[in-house]
Structure formats: structure tokens, C-alpha cells
Amino acid sequence: MMAYVRTRINLLGTWIDDVDLEEAGRRIEAFILEGTPRQVVPANLDFLRLCHHDKGFRKLINQASLVVPDGMPLLWASRVLGHSLRQRIAGVDLMLECARLAAERSYRIYLLGAEPGVADRTASILREAFPGLSIVGTAAPSRLPLSATDEKMTLALIKSYRPDILFVAFGAPLQEQWIQNHIQDLDVPVCCGVGGAFDMISGRVSRAPGWMQQRGMEWFYRFLLEPRRLWKRYFVHDLPVFLRLLARSALSDTSRHLSTSVVCGPESRVPHDLEERLVSSSLEAEASLIELHG
């Protein structure tokens, strides 16, 4: 695998890679060529909330090989911090880029999750959009989490197709946890949770117009479509996290939140106890700054 410089920004203890869509695609192809199982995560504001309340989930995200910023609030906070993330990369856009790449390079894709029939419809649309694309299989479990029997069958089925990329649409945090629990057994070079991407590609759920996406208003469009399901998540859970994120970014030293490393082959992991000490130290320092200014 070619060496590359990995630059990440710490937002509320969660490390986000500073990449654009093109760079993300290059890294994913490098992961495929290397062959070592890797986890890729499109992380949005709700991920930061989950990571803040669940150290185990934060460890999972921080140890992923690639974490892309799936949400404008992350970009806004990084700008306040003084090192702007290059581009918002929605899970659906990352999936489309991977499909394009797979069609050009003859990589194999497997789709797992969403409601019955959605993955099949997604596969048909992707094959039409990217001639030559090899989607080797799809599966839509009738119940989540999977029973022991269903899980064994699902793992065996995926392994039998030997995909290069596995997209999982179980919703967060279940999809990320499922991937982490089975990534070595699956032996798939790239595993990525994509939430509602199958629904958007298949047309089951419409996506916001381009101008709303560009202005960071896609969340509002989704809220208008599903107010009963999303109002509590957006306004009760995520809004306080966003305000806290902006406050900490404004009061923090940029150098404490920037990590640059040269990666050659499989990344060496930061020991978990050291990672937690660094995160805890950062959060405590920021809390003290907020108290001083508030």
C-alpha cells in the first residue's frame, strides 16, 4: 500500500479525516488493493452525540481506517476551530463514488440491509448508472438485531461471494457495531455503514435538492419528510451537541485538535488507554475554558 498523510481533526473527542470525495475514493481503492479488512465510517452530528455518551462507540469510530464528515455542522465547527474540513461527504455520495470506482476497476460490491426489496432496487439502479458494475449479492434481514441463526447464514453468504466492498444499511450505531464485530471473519477489504443511503438511491426516500445540500439544509428537508421520527433526534438530542461543539471549537487551541501522521500499510493503533487519556484531557481543558468564559 502506498504511504499517505492522514490528517484528522478532533471534534468532541471524535477524530474526523480531512479528505474530499476524490481522496476518500483513492484511500478506499488502496484498502481494496491491500486486502486487509478495513472499516470506513461516514460520521454526522448524531455520531458525535453517540460517541460522547458511549466510550466504546467512540473507540470504534476512532479506530476506523477512514472517518469522513457526513454533515455540515462538522465543517462549520472545524472552520471555527481554524482548520476547515475540506468537504462534506454524505454516505450516499461515498457509496456512489465507490460504485463508480468499482465499475471502472471490476471490484465486487455486496449490499446488506434496509427494508425488503430496497437493496435489490438499489442494485438495479446502480448497475444502470454504472455499466459493468458487479453487485454480487444483496440481503435484507427481516429483523434486527440478527438472531444467531440468521447472523451465521448472513456471514456465510457474504463470504461465499467474496466482495471487495460491503455496504451495511442497519442504521447507526448498530451497523458500525455489527461491522466491527464481524470484520475479521468476513475478510472483506472495505466495510462501510451507510444508514439510509439505500433508501435514497432506490427512490424510497427523496433526497434534498442540490441547493439545500450545498447550504447545509439537507437535515431540514429530511425533517420535513419525517417530522415525527426526527424532531426529537434533531432538536432534543443533536442541537445541544451542535451548540456545545461550536462553543468548544471557539474556545479551544487548534493545535490540540489536529493530528497528522504518515500511514504505510495497516495503521498502528494508538493504545486505548492513551487515546482515552488524550480525549479526557482535551474535554476537561475545554470544559474549564467554557467555565472561564461563561
Query: Distance between CA atoms of 291 and 100, rounded to whole angstroms?
Result: 49
Residues 63/38, Cβ–Cβ less than 8 Å: no
The pair phi, psi for residue 271, each rounded to 5°, is: -50, 140
Model-level pTM greater than 0.75? Answer: yes
Task: Please say if the pLDDT value at position 280 is more than 60.
Answer: no
Chain segment 149-188, per-residue pLDDT in tens: 999 999 999 999 999 999 999 999 999 999 999 999 999 9
Percentage with pLDDT > 70 across the chain? 86
Burial label for 10, CB within 10 Å (0-12, 13-18, 19+), is buried
Residues 34/65, Cβ–Cβ less than 8 Å: no
Pairing of strands 134-139, 108-113: parallel
Average per-residue pLDDT for the chain: 87
Chain segment 197-220, per-residue pLDDT in tens: 999 999 999 888 888 887 778 878
Residues 36/266, Cβ–Cβ less than 8 Å: yes
Query: Distance between CA atoms of 274 and 280, rounded to whole angstroms?
Result: 10
Task: Please say if the pLDDT value at position 282 is more than 70.
Answer: no
Chain segment 217-243, per-residue pLDDT in tens: 887 888 888 888 877 877 878 788 778
Mean pLDDT computed over 22-49 = 96
Name 215's Cβ contacts closer than 8 Å, sequence gap at least 6. Answer: none
pLDDT value for 55:
95
E-strand stretches of the chain: 4-11, 14-17, 38-43, 66-69, 108-113, 134-139, 165-169, 190-193, 258-263
Task: Please say if the pLDDT value at position 2 is more than 70.
Answer: no
More confident residue, 12 or 26: 26
Residues 275/26, Cβ–Cβ less than 8 Å: no
Query: Distance between CA atoms of 66 and 193, rounded to whole angstroms?
Result: 12
Q: Is 120 helix (H, G, I), strand (E, B) or coil?
A: helix
CA atoms within 13 Å, Cβ hemisphere of 198: 28
- 191, 194, 198, 200 alpha-carbon torsion, rounded to 10°: -150
pLDDT value for 268:
42
Would you list the domain boundaries of the chain?
A: 4-206+230-293
Residue with cell 502506498: 2
Q: Mind giving me the DSSP string for 248-274?
A: HHHHS-GGGGEEEEEE-SSPPPPPHHH
The pair phi, psi for residue 207, each rounded to 5°, is: -100, 150
More confident residue, 4 or 158: 158
Amino acid at 151: E
Mean pLDDT computed over 130-155 = 95
Task: Please say if the pLDDT value at position 130 is more than 70.
Answer: yes
pLDDT value for 267:
57
First to last CA, the chain: 48
More confident residue, 55 or 3: 55
pLDDT value for 275:
53
Chain segment 239-271, per-residue pLDDT in tens: 887 787 777 766 666 656 777 777 766 654 444
Query: Distance between CA atoms of 6 and 32, rounded to whole angstroms?
Result: 17
